[in-house]
Chain A
Amino acid sequence: MSFFKKLISGPIIFFLLISNVVFAESIAFNKEQLTALKKQNMGKQWLMLLWSVDCPPCFKELAILQKLQRQHDDLAVVIINTDASDEVNAERIDIIEKFELNTLTNFHFEDGTDAQSRFYIDPNWYGELPRSYFVESNGKFHGKSGLVNQSLLTKWLIN
Chain B
Amino acid sequence: MSMLTRIVSVLVVCTSMSAITNISEAAGHNHQAMQPKKQQMARCEGTEIICAKTVTSAFAPNGDLWRLWALDSSIYFQISKDEGKTFSESNRVGIDKEKISARNENRPKIAFDKYQGVYLSWATPKEKKYTADVRFSYSSDYGKTFTQPVTVNDDNLLTGHSFNEMLVTGEGDISIVWLDSRHSYQLRKQGKKTNGSALYLGKANYRKGDKNFSNEQLANNTCVCCRIAMNYNNHGEIAVFWRHIYGDNIREFALMTLGQGDSKQSTPYQISYDRWKINGCPHQGGAISINENNRYHLVWFNQGEVGKGIFYASSDDQGKSLTKPLSVGMQSAQAAHPHMKTNGNRIDIVWTQFTGTEHELWHQYSNDNGKSFTQAAVIAKAFNGSDRPFIITKDNVSYVSWQRPRQSHLVQEL
Contact = CB atoms under 8 A, between A and B. Distances in A.
A binds B: yes
B5 A85 contact: no
A55 interface: yes
Contacts of A59: 129-130
B357 A128 contact: no
B127 to A, nearest CB: 12
A96 interface: no
Contacts of B7: 13
A94 to B, nearest CB: 9
B281 A115 contact: no
Given A145-B278, A145-B280, A115 B5 contact: no
A115 B334 contact: yes
Interface in A78-103: 83-85, 87, 95
A154 B279 CA distance: 19
A55 B357 contact: no
A56 B130 contact: yes
Contact of B284 (A16, A126, A131): A126
A58 interface: yes
Contacts of A145: 278, 280, 303
A74 interface: no
Interface string B370-414: 000000000000001110000000000000000001100000000
Given A9-B8, A95-B129, A146 B15 contact: no
Contact of A115 (B4, B225, B359): B359
B281 A30 contact: no
B361 to A, nearest CB: 13
A73 interface: no
Contacts of B8: 9, 12-13
A147 interface: yes
Contact of B15 (A19, A53, A57, A84): A19
A116 B12 CA distance: 34
B93 to A, nearest CB: 19
Contacts of A43: none
A55 B249 CA distance: 15
Nearest to B331: A124
Nearest to B303: A126
B385 A56 contact: no
B103 A57 contact: no
A97 B354 CA distance: 33
Given A116-B357, A128-B303, A55 B4 contact: no
Nearest to A53: B129
Interface string A22-40: 0000001011100000000
Contacts of B114: none
A152 B367 CA distance: 51
Nearest to A132: B280
Interface of B: 2, 4-5, 7-8, 11-12, 15, 25-26, 29, 33, 53, 103-104, 106, 129-130, 224-225, 249, 277-284, 301, 303, 332, 334, 336, 354, 356-357, 359, 384-386, 405-406
13 contacts: A1-B4, A5-B4, A19-B15, A28-B26, A31-B29, A53-B129, A55-B280, A56-B225, A112-B384, A113-B385, A115-B334, A115-B359, A119-B354
Given A5-B5, A12-B11, 10 more contacts: A5-B2, A13-B8, A55-B283, A58-B281, A119-B334, A119-B356, A128-B280, A128-B303, A129-B283, A145-B280
Interface of A: 1, 5-6, 9, 12-13, 16, 19-20, 28, 30-32, 52-59, 83-85, 87, 95, 111-116, 119, 123-124, 126-131, 145-147
Report the 6 A-B pairs with minimum CB-CB distance, sorted nearest first: A112-B385, A146-B280, A146-B278, A147-B279, A146-B279, A1-B2
